[in-house]
Structure 1
Amino acid sequence: MTRFPFAAALALMAQTVSLGAQTVQTEAGTMQITAMVEGLDTPWAFAHLPDGGLLITEREGGLLSVRDGAVTRVAGLPDDIVAEGQGGLLDILIPEDFARTRKVYLTYAKRQGRGAGTAVFRATLSQDGTGLTNGQTIFKMAPGDRSARHFGSRIVEGADGYLYITIGERGDRPAAQDLARHNGSIIRIARDGSVPPDNPFVGQSGAQPEIWSYGHRNPQGAAVDADGQLWINEHGAQGGDEVNRIVKGANYGWPVISYGRHYSGAKIGEGTAKDGMQQPEFYWDPSIAPSGMVFYDGPVSQWRGDAFVGSLKFDYIARLSGDPLREVEQIRADQTGRVRDLAVGPDGGLWFLSITNGTLYRMSPAD
């Protein structure tokens, strides 16, 4: 195996060096953790390409292509990325039909007047992986917001072929209950940005037609399980980080109900439950600041079907399993500092991004 060190330059060829690997004990046995790409600047997301390459986003506005021992910056990004606060270049999606279309989808904080809003950008990746062409912003939240936090911004492809994007309430708590605004919602759009006619609020006066569910605080993880069900995780305030099973048209309660409290210690809303509002499948108290989420479908039988979620606060990878869903394991190692994103690689390994180490790792059974 090889490692690809990255130096912050516009483009460079990385020297290939031999890898050292460390091990960690898990309930499924000894796992080997291998550094795959190092020297990343505030990495946010990554995606595997069918040809064995990788794309990695950096929040400050860099998109990196990794292939055959080379790391290069990808040209052609939108010129209105706002890299302030929690905003910047965020998630990336390689859709199922990429080999035919070469379309790539990115989420980012888009300049909107004096503020910014979560947006989706679609472009065609060049054959050599170094440039984007025919770029177009196919969705932008309405209205924009001057806050620099709670962009949400995970994007996943549903089993129905539509795109699902998470949007935080941008620190404007009541907006999460206002269907006239995209704040605090999961949206569902077609690949060209158009609105599917069976979205739940299509035709409802004053409602944003892209909204699929609402009442969310700051969803930073999203994944589809083997049955095609969409799940998200979202940040609570002080306590009350949630894992939610997403239902069409449902209200997830923020800020009316929550299992957490405000940072001041004050009570949030009306309590933990209310008629017409969904309960989380699982919640953390204290908060772990969850981010990144994947359902494991690789060769480790004990993990198969389980959800893995990164913790930005406590530097571990959570494994969730069972019905009812519970956190059954915390995987901790020197490499699991502020885990932002996770995915199952084509090799069946559990890949994850550490902000603390600026590194993309692969976890797999030790030989």
Structure 2
Amino acid sequence: MNGRKTTASLLVAATALTAVLVIGAPPRALAADPINAGERQPDDDKPFSAHKVAAFDTPWALAFLPDGRMLVTEKPGQMFVVTEAGKKTEIAGVPKVAASGQNGLLDVAPAPSFAEDHIVYITYVAPADGGSVLELARATLAETEGKAELSDLEVIWRQTPPGGGGQPGGIIAFSPDSKHLFLTSGDRMRPQKAQDPDQTPGKILRLNLDGSVPDDNPDAAKGGVPAMSWTTGHRNPYGLAFAPDGRLWEHEMGPRGGDEFNLIEQSKNYGWPEVSNGINYNGSPIPDHATRPEFAAPPLYWTPVIAPAGLVFYEGDLFPDWKGTALIGGLASTALVQVGFAADGQPDEIDRFDMGARIRDVAVGPDGAVWLIEDDSPGALLKLTPKAK
């Protein structure tokens, strides 16, 4: 551990991390002053060894199946079943994607009921009249005689209206009770849509598993986009996950500065593009969150940016000191970033490990090993295990 952690006064020792997230504890209010972790430097003392298992063409997401194998997507439009030894089986039946820039085949998530029905959910940017469109689909992963395909694929949600640039979002998270699906929809580089209640960009949505609107959504009676919206005012959310205590966390990329780590609470507006802790790419200022208290401010942010991508909460056994912490991939920071939580729920970066490559996604295997994919072509699939003592 290096001296930079002394800036996190609420997190005084790594050994305390196993108790900072109390499963089942009621949510607590966060500290009033957001923490800027942008200037933190990588820790030279890595507690793990990284092993390259396989390589892919611009991999975007990975997710574990109940049997210990993985699903890995490639942004150009391919998807694979992958063993922990690195054997790859390409999956047929993947829909056509509009692969350019930040867009293409995005997230993949096995359904909570996968062990029984083999259903998987995918997100992707598809070609459409008037421009490309973010879609959420579900299908059955059928495997026979060493081959795999997506069968009975059904689009259950589509961005409205179509069009826009990059920043698609597209991250899937299932609620702890496995009854609902949360989906991030980025602003598609049209910032004002994030504040338009009748357009899906810049929102986090809460859906039933079939894509319909839950009756208990805050604005279910209004119909349309408001009925499915859980929160609004997001820019480019590439991380969404439930913590062990049941709270939902999200991270999103800011413009020049202002990457955010947010506690997601229903009906809140997170302010983009009206506020940000960064500035516009042309150098013009954006009002800080502190100037507009009606918007939810991030308790943790990064200026300079880390460009966060991928988010998982560690609950394994191989790295006992990491239990309850969040692991985030860093694109611009070429790092694995670890976030811990103080007793009052306040998050702070507690470690940053230089991986020497843009890290696109993070997952935890059944044995507690941490798995990463690199945003490159070829981009490696890496397995992290504790360093031999």
**What TM-score do the two structures reach when normalised by structure 1?**
0.88
Describe how 1:285-324 pairs up with structure 2 within 5 A: 285-299=303-317, 300-323=319-342, 324=346
- In structure 2, do the counterparts of structure 1 residues 208 and 142 end up closer, same or farther at CA, with 3 Å as the change threshold? farther
| Contact 1:49–1:94 (8 Å) recurs in 2 | yes
- In structure 2, do the counterparts of structure 1 residues 208 and 110 end up closer, same or farther at CA, with 3 Å as the change threshold? farther
Unaligned residue ranges in structure 2 (runs of 5+): 1-41
**CA shift digits 1:97-125 (9 cap, x unpaired):** 10001000000002221311211110000
The answer for the alignment partner of 2:284 in structure 1 is 266
| Contact 1:47–1:54 (8 Å) recurs in 2 | yes
Residue 153 of structure 1 aligns to a residue whose secondary structure is strand
**CA shift digits 1:160-218 (9 cap, x unpaired):** 32111111111111111111000100011111111101112222376432111000000
The answer for the alignment partner of 1:3 in structure 2 is none
**What TM-score do the two structures reach when normalised by structure 2?**
0.83
Partners of 1:25 and 1:95 lie apart in 2 by: 36
- In structure 2, do the counterparts of structure 1 residues 176 and 332 end up closer, same or farther at CA, with 3 Å as the change threshold? same
Larger RCO, structure (CA 8 Å, separation 6 or more): 2
Residue 115 of structure 1 aligns to a residue whose secondary structure is coil
The answer for the alignment partner of 2:360 in structure 1 is 340
User: 1:127 Cα deviation (Å)?
Assistant: 3.1
Confirm or deny that 1:364 pairs with 2:389. Answer: no
Partners of 1:312 and 1:215 lie apart in 2 by: 23
User: 1:37 Cα deviation (Å)?
Assistant: 1.5
- AA partner of residue 214 (structure 1): T
Unaligned residue ranges in structure 1 (runs of 5+): 1-23
**CA shift digits 1:199-247 (9 cap, x unpaired):** 1222237643211100000001111110121111000000100000100
Partners of 2:223 and 2:369 lie apart in 1 by: 47
Percent of aligned positions with the same letter in both sequences? 37
Residue 250 of structure 1 aligns to a residue whose secondary structure is coil
> 65, 73, 89: which is aligned to 2:81?
65
After superposition, the CA RMSD in angstroms is: 1.9
Partners of 1:333 and 1:54 lie apart in 2 by: 21
User: 1:276 Cα deviation (Å)?
Assistant: 2.3
Confirm or deny that 1:153 pairs with 2:173. Answer: no
The answer for the alignment partner of 1:167 in structure 2 is 185
The answer for the alignment partner of 1:224 in structure 2 is 242
| Contact 2:77–2:104 (8 Å) recurs in 1 | yes
- In structure 2, do the counterparts of structure 1 residues 190 and 26 end up closer, same or farther at CA, with 3 Å as the change threshold? farther
Alignment length, in residue pairs? 338
User: 1:322 Cα deviation (Å)?
Assistant: 2.5
The answer for the alignment partner of 1:30 in structure 2 is 47
- AA partner of residue 137 (structure 2): F
| Contact 1:201–1:207 (8 Å) recurs in 2 | no
Residue 203 of structure 1 aligns to a residue whose secondary structure is helix
The answer for the alignment partner of 1:78 in structure 2 is 95
- AA partner of residue 274 (structure 2): V
The answer for the alignment partner of 2:261 in structure 1 is 243
- AA partner of residue 318 (structure 1): V
Residue 174 of structure 1 aligns to a residue whose secondary structure is helix
- AA partner of residue 365 (structure 1): P
- In structure 2, do the counterparts of structure 1 residues 125 and 264 end up closer, same or farther at CA, with 3 Å as the change threshold? same
